């Protein structure tokens, strides 16, 4: 919305200059947007753009996004950390409020379903190392506990699959990746 408003900056100026009724209507409220207002719009739009992109990424309806969710949480966490130390008091204040909201929903390991971690492990591009990296970033205090629990749950999932499929205790999964690379997952 800010990007759209930004495109009409010159229209606001022209109306304020050429249409006295428009000028009076705006001055009855907060007034005609000033140069500083437009600078704030540009600055805030630039800050919020990554959130818009991340929202689009996780809100896809035609693609599977479960394996992307944890990565997006990590991206948001990193963005908020960066803004907390940026030196701009307005952005620091906004980041603090956003961090409070983020922590309310995602700041505790109890708020994240273990299926999110399992989806990452099953994503051939990420695997368990990515879970370890992400958990160390998001939850450094309980990192070992979360990683161990994730490994335990994944082992239980694999054991359940093995017992149902009757394939024993070893499975090799071939995956042809980009550029003809082949990944092999081995369990057992």
What per-residue confidence (pLDDT) applies to 181? Answer: 46
Contacts of 77 (CB under 8 A, 6+ apart): 102, 137, 138
Distance CA(63)–CA(57), nearest Å, equals 10
Residue 16 has pLDDT above 50, yes or no: yes
Number of structural domains (the chain) is: 2
Q: Check: CB of residue 106 under 8 Å from CB of residue 117.
A: no
Instruction: Find the DSSP H helices in 123-178.
Output: 127-138, 143-165
Residues 40 and 26 occupy one common structural domain: no
| Residues 120-139: b if buried by 16+ CB within 10 A, e if exposed | bbebeebeeebbbebbeebb
Residues 29 and 46 occupy one common structural domain: no
Residues 72 and 12 occupy one common structural domain: no
The share of the chain scoring above pLDDT 70, in percent, equals 80
Residues 29 and 40 occupy one common structural domain: no
Tokens (6 digits) for 118: 């399992």
Residues 109 and 18 occupy one common structural domain: no
- Confidence band, pLDDT 50/70/90 cuts, at residue 57: confident
Residues 148 and 76 occupy one common structural domain: yes
Residues 49 and 13 occupy one common structural domain: no
Residues 126 and 60 occupy one common structural domain: yes
What per-residue confidence (pLDDT) applies to 179? Answer: 47
Residues 112 and 20 occupy one common structural domain: no
Mean pLDDT, the chain, whole residue set: 79
pLDDT digits (tens, 9 = 90+) for 123-166: 888 888 999 999 999 999 999 999 999 999 888 888 888 888 77
* SS3 state at 167: coil
- Of the candidates 55, 68, 62, the one whose C-alpha atom is nearest the C-alpha of residue 123 is 68
What per-residue confidence (pLDDT) applies to 141? Answer: 92
Residues 25 and 39 occupy one common structural domain: no
Q: Could you tell me the residue range of the domain that residue 96 belongs to?
A: 35-187
Token pair 């695997």 is at which residue?
A: 127
Residues 25 and 98 occupy one common structural domain: no
- Confidence band, pLDDT 50/70/90 cuts, at residue 26: low
- Confidence band, pLDDT 50/70/90 cuts, at residue 29: low
Residues 83 and 120 occupy one common structural domain: yes
User: Could you tell me which residue, 183 or 34, shows the higher pLDDT?
Assistant: 34
Rounded to 5 degrees, what are φ and ψ at 161? -60, -45
Length of the chain: 188
Instruction: Find the DSSP H helices in the chain.
Output: 2-7, 9-18, 20-28, 35-58, 66-84, 89-106, 114-122, 127-138, 143-165
């Amino acid at each position: 919305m800010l990007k759209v408003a930004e495109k009409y900056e010159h229209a606001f100026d022209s109306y304020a200059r050429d249409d006295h009724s428009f000028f009076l209507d705006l001055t009855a409220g907060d007034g005609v947007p000033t140069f500083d207002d437009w600078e704030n719009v540009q600055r805030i739009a630039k800050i919020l753009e990554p959130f818009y992109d991340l929202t689009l990424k996780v809100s896809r309806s035609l693609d599977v996004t479960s394996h992307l969710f944890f990565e997006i949480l990590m991206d948001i966490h990193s963005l908020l950390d960066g803004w907390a130390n940026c030196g701009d008091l307005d952005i620091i204040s906004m980041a603090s409020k956003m961090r409070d909201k983020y922590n309310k929903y995602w700041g505790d390991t109890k708020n994240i379903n273990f299926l999110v971690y399992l989806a990452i492990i099953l994503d051939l591009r990420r695997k368990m190392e990515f879970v370890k990296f992400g958990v160390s970033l998001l939850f450094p205090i309980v990192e070992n506990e979360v990683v161990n629990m994730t490994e335990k749950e994944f082992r239980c999932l694999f054991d359940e699959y093995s017992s149902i499929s009757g394939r024993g205790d070893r499975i090799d999964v071939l995956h042809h990746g980009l550029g003809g690379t082949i990944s092999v997952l081995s369990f057992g």
